[in-house]
């Protein structure tokens, strides 16, 4: 998938922007406790409900007033730079104040960059703006915002997104079929020796 995304994104024409021309860093706090659903970064699924990641992270309910609000369509910079370090949010909720929230402007089609941010060429480009050692490496967002990106027209972004989403759906369906066939094989092997 990474190779396909890279090929689609690199073989297109567009205009060069810096990321700061495409994103606004948002620091909106949950002071009025409007949101109670805590989101966490997942590399494969983007921002998901913390309760869905099967990790019981304890926190004080009162402390969520200091959490940041993530809106549907935002990108969140998390600490796993070796995996890309950017998670797309398909839902609104709150997240740890340690995360950096990036809100795209109208030049970026909804979720267009979600696959691009997990591609190997993008992750490799982050080496210029990451600091620290091993898994604790963090992305210097201010330096990253100055990096260039070739962004195609909105119509081309939609075309690329349609292709990538179709491949993603196909892979998801094939994984389901594989699981069903494995279950069937196990069942047949178990009943064969009765």
Per-residue pLDDT of the chain (194 residues; tens, 9 = 90+): 777 887 887 777 889 999 999 999 999 998 887 888 888 887 677 888 877 666 656 666 667 888 999 999 999 988 654 555 788 999 999 988 888 999 999 999 999 998 888 877 888 888 888 876 555 567 888 999 999 998 999 999 999 999 998 998 898 899 999 999 999 998 888 888 76
Q: Which domain holds residue 130?
A: 2-192
Residue 41's CATH number:
3.90.220.20
| 65 Cβ contact list (under 8 Å, min separation 6) | 29, 30, 31, 33
CA–CA separation, 45 and 171 (whole Å): 14
108/17 Cα distance (integer angstroms): 11
pLDDT in tens, 61-85: 667 888 999 999 999 988 654 555 7
3-state SS class at 96: coil
- For 108-111, which contacts have Cβ atoms below 8 Å and span 24 or more sequence positions? 108/22, 108/23, 108/151, 108/157, 109/154, 109/157, 109/158, 109/161, 110/73, 111/73, 111/161
State residue 58 phi and psi, 5-degree precision: -85, 140
How many distinct structural domains can be found in the chain?
1
pTM reported for the whole predicted model: 0.80
In the three-class reduction of DSSP (H, G, I as helix; E, B as strand; rest coil), residue 35 is classed as coil
In angstroms, what CA-CA distances link 115 with 50, 106, 164?
21, 18, 8
Q: How many residues does the chain have?
A: 194
> What was the pLDDT predicted at 59?
61
Residue 102 sits at the vertex; the CA angle it makes with 64 and 30, to the nearest 5 degrees, is 20
């Amino acid at each position: 998938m990474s190779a396909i995304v890279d090929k689609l994104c690199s073989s297109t024409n567009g205009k060069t922007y810096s990321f700061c021309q495409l994103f606004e860093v948002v620091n909106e706090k949950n002071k009025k406790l409007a949101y109670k659903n805590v989101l966490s970064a997942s590399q494969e699924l983007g921002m998901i409900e913390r309760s869905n990641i099967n990790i019981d992270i304890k926190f004080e309910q009162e402390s969520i007033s200091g959490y940041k609000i993530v809106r549907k369509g935002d990108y969140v910079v998390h600490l796993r730079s070796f995996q890309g370090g950017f998670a797309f949010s398909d839902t609104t909720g709150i997240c740890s104040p340690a995360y950096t929230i990036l809100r795209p402007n109208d030049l970026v089609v909804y979720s267009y960059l979600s696959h691009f941010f997990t591609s190997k060429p993008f992750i490799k480009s982050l080496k210029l703006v990451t600091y620290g050692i091993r898994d604790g490496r963090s992305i210097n967002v201010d330096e990253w915002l100055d990096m260039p990106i070739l962004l195609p027209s909105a119509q081309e972004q939609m075309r690329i997104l349609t292709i990538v989403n179709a491949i993603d759906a196909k892979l998801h369906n094939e994984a389901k079929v594989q699981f069903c066939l494995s279950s069937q094989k196990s069942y047949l092997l178990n009943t064969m020796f009765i």
